[in-house]
Every structure is written in C-alpha cells, then in structure tokens.
Structure 1
Amino acid sequence: MTWVMTSKMQFYLHEDESLLDGLLRTGHEVNYQCREGYCGSCRVRKVSSSHPIDYPFAPLAMIEVNEILPCCCRVQGVIYIDHELIPE
C-alpha cells in the first residue's frame, strides 16, 4: 500500500491508481493535460519518499530533480509531496 502525505491530508492509493488520480480523488488541485508525461503540467515537488520513484517509460516533459509527474510515475511506500501548483 502506498501512503501519500501532503500539507492538506494523508491518503493511500488504491491498487493500480496513479498518483494523479489519487490526488484528484482526494480533492487536491492539480493541473494536468496529457496524463502520459509529455506536457509536464501535473508536476509536483517531491519532499521525500521511502522508496525510489520510477517511471514505466521515460517522460518527455522536462522536470527538475525534486519534481515528479504524478500522471505517470510509480510510487511505493510513503511519499511526501508539495501539491501546490508549480508555475510553468
């Protein structure tokens, strides 16, 4: 089970649920468009995580070292994120 911690709340991801879908399900405001790692509009800041974050395929969007794309990343364990919108 994956636990997600934000400044707003903590919640767990359902089986096979993306981080983006979990954020939207719990009422977090997250921009998104492509849902496939191309546009980068869903990027959030990763504060810390208990496991490495990986991607099933390399995203095309440019992201900083401390950013992740919740639409297509795979998370496990516990992850702390800053879900506030990042200006593009």
Structure 2
Amino acid sequence: MDKPDPAFHIDVVDVGCVGVNSDKSLLESLEAHNIDVHFHCREGFCGACRTKLHEGQVEYTTDPLAFIDDDEILPCCCIPRSNLKIDVPR
C-alpha cells in the first residue's frame, strides 16, 4: 500500500525539508525523519522541546503548560496546520 502524499512540508533550518502529515505530533513526525529534537515529557509540561517557529501555523492537541515565547512552539504537543519553517536547537 502506498503512503499518502505529505500534507505539509517542514523546512528545518540547517537540516533540510521533510514532508509530514498532520496525524502525528510534530515531534513524532520529525523523529520519523531521523531529525533529533531534545525532549523529556512529550506532553507540553517541561518545555525541553521548545523550537523556534519562523513561518507557518500549528495547532496544539493539548494546552502546553511550559512557558514559550510568541515565536516558539512545543513540537511534542502540536500538529502542523500549514507548511512550517522551524529551527531545532541542538
């Protein structure tokens, strides 16, 4: 069975562009493409996966409790709603 075409493209600064669907969290999608993202809780509590969002929109599947700036997202608890450009800390 063929995989469905990706719904969105995620441009990860200094890494490359990957195609993802919105059926998984952004963190899970990045991991599926072997893109390392630092994380701890996977539920939006700790903020360890805090990532800079340059372009695009995400939707949170659960309300994040960790502090994030206006230009940051928590990939562990959001899904893409458009093409994204992000900067994953290393």
TM range (shorter): 0.7 to 0.9
* CA-atom RMSD in angstroms: 1.4
CA–CA separation in structure 1 for the residues paired with 2:41 and 2:71: 21
Residue 39 of structure 1 corresponds to which residue in structure 2?
Answer: 46
**Structure 1 gaps, min length 5:** none
- Within a 5 Å distance, the mapping from 1:12-23 to structure 2 comes to 12-14=19-21, 16-23=23-30
* Equivalences, count: 83
**Structure 2 gaps, min length 5:** 1-6
Identity %: 34
Relative to the length of structure 1, the TM-score reads 0.83
**Computing the radius of gyration over CA atoms, which structure comes out larger, 1 or 2?**
2
Higher strand share: 2
CA displacement 1:47-73 (0-9 Å, x = unmatched): 111xx3221332110111111000101
Dislocated runs of 4+, deviation >2 Å: none
Residue 72 of structure 2 corresponds to which residue in structure 1?
Answer: 67
CA–CA separation in structure 2 for the residues paired with 1:24 and 1:56: 18
1:5 partner letter: D
Relative to the length of structure 2, the TM-score reads 0.81
CA displacement 1:23-68 (0-9 Å, x = unmatched): 122222211111110111011100111xx32213321101111110
Shift of 1:80: 0.4
- Within a 5 Å distance, the mapping from 1:41-56 to structure 2 comes to 41-49=48-56, 52-56=57-61
SS in 1 for 2:54: strand
